[in-house]
Amino acid sequence: MRPSLRILLALLCAIPTLSLPAQDSPYEVKERVRPPHGWIQHSKPPPDHTISLRIGLPQPNFGVLETHLYEVSDPNHSRYGQHLSKEEVEELVAPHPESLNAVNEWLASHGIQEEDISHSPARDWITLTIPIGLAEKMLDTKYHVWMNPTTGDYIVRTTSYSLPIDLHDHVDVIQPTTMFAQFKPYRSFIVKSDEKPLDINTALGTLTNPATGLVVDASCNDTITVPCLAQLYNSTGYIPSARPDNAIGITGYLGEYANTADLQQFYAEQRPDAVNSSFKFISVNGGINNQSEPGYEANLDVQFAFGLSHPIPATFYSTPGSPPFQPDVNTPTNTNEPYSDWIDFVLSQENLPLTISTSYGDDEQTVPQSYAQRVCQDLAQLGTRGISLLFSSGDNGVGDGESNPTAQSCFTNDGKNQTQFIPAFPASIVSVTAVGGTENVAPEVAVSRFYSGGGFSNYFPRPSYQDEAVSGYLKALKPGTYEGLYNASGRGYPDIAAQGDRFRIIVGGSPVSIGGTSASAPTIAGFIALLNDYRLTRSLPPLGFLNPFIYQKGYAGFTDILSGHNSGCGTTGFNVTKGWDPVTGFGTPNFGILKDLVLYA
């Protein structure tokens, strides 16, 4: 019997103790980081260059919200599925009035008035746009332009900032300051496909998955399509409704645009009954969906997530911000990383898709821990409201294993420059579901053309919902395996997996084969949207935060993957084993079994 989640074994994110502010308090360093590997100091930004600062205030009642999150997500709890409203969540994460007053007084001392700032609906975030010169004075710091020679990108950041001592307890985080992460799509191996039209009705023989007994078209070993996934994951014949209280969402960043003409061509090939249907486009912070620039990542995400879940209503979010700075322009368009803008936006919305997939991320160590904790808390709010969040686990194995498992570039940023496995973010967050990658169909194995991201967080302790599964995996490891290279007490990821290579999509009117866990996450999202449909049509609430269900009951609806590993950092990484492992999690979905499990959860 799996343990109940009613007793929490660890807090999701720590909350600081509050103290009263004092006037004319001396400054003290609030946060200091080392620039991640690959970034070099380039120049000074112009003092009149504007920057949009986001100030996160402590959420003193977050522990109460966390309790709600676990109770409404625990299939063994009497409150399972009783998700909170937007207003109820905002009440729980609202800052203490003393924190608001202290920060407002500090801002006013620098000439910034109430009309110069904006608040999140819960008032736990304050945003203001000011010149760099003023930001440097307020934070007792110096900003620089930093360059990444590998990518050619520039960002405006500092490696430390300070606040008045008595303001420290009233501020969790201020960004952009020490945040060097650049969220990138988790995709790889883009190759032109056969130009011949795909005929999904022409069988080339069949294969039988020995783990499930399911029969799959033999062509699925070479080319993954919507019908292949339906066969492999046992959803063939299920016809979902188009009810308006269910929807699936895809996030888009970095100039990745979802092309509607390509979607129609994709539907004509792989989902003919979906032809002439499309998605709702939502612009976040001025994001566009340029139809003359189809994106490989955006097209992959929308074509498969929406192709698998049709006719469930679909949404594509576009958030701008790439690259954030050009050193020869005084006023660049955006100095924030775009992920913050998306979180701000969705938390302010009353109605959201019940399933949202994100295929972007970066190394955990490029993200300050204070910021990572706030993202954890923000995403927990969405889970408490009944939203299922899926994130790709990454394509670099345990660190740098995308194409060279013998490389030795997994270095820590703590000044010791030690070799260490590098977890991915946001996949390492405990309040989301991370998705690894597989390939082949008879049987499925961990993907090998790239390596499924997986391992253990250095920021987030192992949550109670996965304690039994992860402890079992670690106990089975040979003593001393990778000692010192990973945090054995950290949150293990991924949680589950799906096919991640040789996906046939349409880009610019031509077929393309693409791989990456950025294919796996939208695939899982499509099936979660189907499961939500199944529950809603039976007057049951949506699944919401998935992990407590997966680790207590849902694991029985996933097919265990038994072969493969995830190389990186000069090692072969972790091995796939029976049960949960940090390569493929509990394995890949069997929709037919999961339908029964979610019905009686």
Asked if 168 and 102 touch (Cβ cutoff 8 Å), the reply is no
CB count in 10 Å sphere of residue 280: 12
Candidate list 297, 364, 495, 533, residue with the active-site label: 297
Asked if 573 and 600 touch (Cβ cutoff 8 Å), the reply is no
How many Å apart are CA 392 and CA 1, to the nearest integer? 30
3-state secondary structure 352-401: CCCEEEECEEEEHHHCCHHHHHHHHHHHHHHHHCCCEEEEECCCECCCCC
If 0-12 CB within 10 Å is exposed, 13-18 middle and 19+ buried, where does residue 539 land?
exposed
Task: Name 404's bridge partners.
Answer: none
Candidate list 262, 301, 439, 533, residue with the active-site label: 301
How many Å apart are CA 214 and CA 227, to the nearest integer? 13
Sheet holding 173-175, edge to edge: 117-119, 125-131, 50-56, 173-175
Token pair in block for residue 275: 């032809």
How many Å apart are CA 22 and CA 131, to the nearest integer? 26
If 0-12 CB within 10 Å is exposed, 13-18 middle and 19+ buried, where does residue 26 land?
exposed
409 carries an active-site annotation: no
Q: Can you tell me which residue has the tokens 């950041």?
A: 157
Task: Name 490's bridge partners.
Answer: 461
Task: Name 581's bridge partners.
Answer: 585
> Where are the extended beta strands (E) located within 34-77?
40-43, 50-56
Maximum CA extent, the chain = 78
Asked if 552 and 469 touch (Cβ cutoff 8 Å), the reply is no
Token pair in block for residue 152: 């050619």
Asked if 303 and 512 touch (Cβ cutoff 8 Å), the reply is no
301 carries an active-site annotation: yes
Candidate list 52, 162, 518, 567, residue with the active-site label: 518
297 carries an active-site annotation: yes
Which residues are the active-site residues?
297, 301, 518
